[in-house]
């Protein structure tokens, strides 16, 4: 039996080279923006806040007579500030997740049409992107809720002095944690890599596309099991390459802008403002340079990973093939 996941390894390399070379600066910049959001949109970070107002019955004895207590000055001010900050962080994360979900469609559409156009593809796909956002949010809440419930069950005996029971429950919960995490990761990964292309190919909503893809997945489970195994290896290789490239960028940027920073340090005793400005500029340029290197490296690696999934999907079901023309050119 031919394994599509094996054949697609080399095909994805050829497709990536054809798509990204010759180098086009504007296309790479647009892809870097897409990859920036796509690379971070798969996760979900919960933020929880709990707190209560101060319960003191009178002014603090340590304060001078006549000094108003903190409660009198700003009742609940700290709690409101914390709530506002947490709310802002959650809003930013949710906004990032929404943009990343729509960018999944922009990315696949760019590979499909071999042309990158963020505004046009966003306009075409923001509604299915919103559905993907809701699905990811729900999946993240369910996964983290399950983890929280398991953790609570493990820790609850500790409060009653049953440490031995807590250790036993912890051992029993390890495989459950693993299964839940693996299942959530597979659902999220298959949704991103295969269901999103089905949504684009057939114009179906997300759950409908999952039902459409399900017979292909179950009917050719060996093909997709091979994809999962090889994709895991590919992701490790991608991670290693990214780390090496970014570390190289850190070293180069550190040498270049370290000189500017040292000059700023030397000037602190003579001209504090000028020295501080030089240090700030050096640090800012260092951070921007490392970030730019990371994105520059991520563009071909993420493009390869997505092409790899599209080749496997098209080989397993021709009706889902979004890159039939590129496949034909490469294999001929």
What is the distance between the terminal CA atoms of the chain, rounded to a whole angstrom? 21
B/e letters for 106-117, b = 16+ CB within 10 Å, e = fewer, are bbbbbbbeeebe
Which residue, among 43, 50, 108, has the nearest Cα to 323 in the 3D structure?
A: 108
- The pLDDT tens digits for 121-134 are 999 999 999 999 99
What does 110-150 look like in DSSP terms, one character per residue?
HHHHT---HHHHHHHHHHHHHHHHHHHHHHHHHHHHHHHHH
DSSP state of 40: T
Q: Do residues 224 and 3 make contact, with C-beta atoms less than 8 angstroms apart?
A: no
Q: Do residues 210 and 194 make contact, with C-beta atoms less than 8 angstroms apart?
A: no
- The pLDDT tens digits for 146-175 are 999 999 988 888 777 777 888 888 898 899
- Mean pLDDT of all residues belonging to the chain: 87
Work out the angle at residue 130's Cα, subtended by the Cα atoms of residues 128 and 135, and round it to the nearest 5 degrees: 95
What does 225-287 look like in DSSP terms, one character per residue?
HHHHHHHHHHHHHHHHHHHHHHHHHHHHHHHHHHHHHHHHHHHTTT-HHHHHHHHHHHHHHHH
> What burial class does residue 73 get, using C-beta atoms within 10 Å of its C-beta: 0-12 exposed, 13-18 middle, 19+ buried?
exposed
- The pLDDT tens digits for 1-39 are 689 999 999 999 999 999 999 999 999 999 999 999 997
Work out the angle at residue 89's Cα, subtended by the Cα atoms of residues 84 and 92, and round it to the nearest 5 degrees: 125
Which two three-digit tokens encode residue 309? 């999934």
> What burial class does residue 103 get, using C-beta atoms within 10 Å of its C-beta: 0-12 exposed, 13-18 middle, 19+ buried?
buried
Q: Do residues 314 and 323 make contact, with C-beta atoms less than 8 angstroms apart?
A: yes
What was the pLDDT predicted at 76?
Answer: 64
Residue 69 confidence (pLDDT) above 90:
no
Q: Helix crossing, 163-190 with 118-155: angle to 10°?
A: 160
The larger pLDDT score, comparing residue 59 to residue 251, is at 251
Residue 45 confidence (pLDDT) above 70:
no
Q: Helix crossing, 77-113 with 118-155: angle to 10°?
A: 130
Which residue, among 142, 146, 144, 170, has the nearest Cα to 156 in the 3D structure?
A: 170
Q: Do residues 325 and 209 make contact, with C-beta atoms less than 8 angstroms apart?
A: no
pTM of the model: 0.83
- How many residues in the chain? 332
The larger pLDDT score, comparing residue 64 to residue 281, is at 281
Going 109 to 112 to 113 to 115, the CA torsion angle's sign is positive
Which two three-digit tokens encode residue 105? 């469609």
Band the pLDDT of 46: cuts 50, 70, 90: very low
> What burial class does residue 196 get, using C-beta atoms within 10 Å of its C-beta: 0-12 exposed, 13-18 middle, 19+ buried?
buried
What was the pLDDT predicted at 65?
Answer: 52
- The pLDDT tens digits for 167-191 are 888 898 899 999 999 999 999 999 9
Band the pLDDT of 271: cuts 50, 70, 90: confident
What was the pLDDT predicted at 149?
Answer: 93
Which two three-digit tokens encode residue 14? 């050829």
Parse the chain into domains and list their residue ranges: 4-52+75-331
Band the pLDDT of 288: cuts 50, 70, 90: very high
């Amino acid at each position: 039996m031919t394994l599509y996941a094996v054949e697609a390894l080399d095909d994805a390399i050829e497709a990536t080279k054809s798509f990204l070379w010759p180098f086009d600066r504007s296309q790479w910049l647009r892809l870097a923006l897409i990859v920036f959001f796509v690379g971070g949109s798969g996760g979900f970070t919960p933020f929880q806040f709990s707190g209560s107002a101060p319960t003191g019955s009178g002014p603090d004895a340590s304060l001078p007579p006549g000094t108003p207590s903190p409660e009198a000055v700003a009742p609940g001010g700290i709690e409101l500030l914390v709530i506002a900050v947490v709310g802002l962080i959650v809003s930013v994360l949710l906004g990032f997740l929404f943009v990343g979900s729509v960018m999944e469609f922009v990315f696949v559409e760019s590979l499909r049409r071999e042309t990158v156009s963020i505004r046009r593809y966003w306009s075409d796909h923001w509604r299915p992107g919103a559905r993907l956002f809701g699905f990811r949010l729900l999946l993240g809440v369910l996964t983290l809720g399950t983890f929280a419930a398991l953790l609570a069950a493990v820790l609850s005996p500790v409060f009653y002095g049953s440490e031995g029971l807590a250790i036993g429950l912890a051992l029993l919960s390890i495989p459950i944690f693993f299964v839940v995490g693996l299942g959530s990761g597979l659902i999220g990964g298959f949704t991103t890599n295969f269901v999103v292309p089905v949504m684009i190919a057939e114009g179906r909503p997300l759950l409908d596309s999952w039902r459409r893809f399900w017979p292909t997945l179950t009917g050719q489970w060996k093909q997709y099991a091979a994809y999962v195994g090889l994709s895991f290896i590919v992701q490790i290789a991608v991670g290693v390459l990214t780390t090496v490239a970014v570390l190289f960028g850190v070293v180069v940027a550190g040498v270049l802008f370290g000189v500017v920073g040292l000059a700023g340090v030397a000037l602190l005793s003579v001209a504090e403002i000028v020295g501080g400005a030089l240090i700030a500029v050096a640090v800012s340029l260092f951070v921007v340079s490392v970030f730019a290197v990371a994105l520059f490296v991520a563009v071909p690696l993420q493009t390869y990973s997505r092409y790899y999934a599209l080749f496997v999907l098209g080989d397993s079901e021709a009706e889902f093939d979004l890159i039939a023309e590129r496949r034909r050119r490469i294999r001929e």
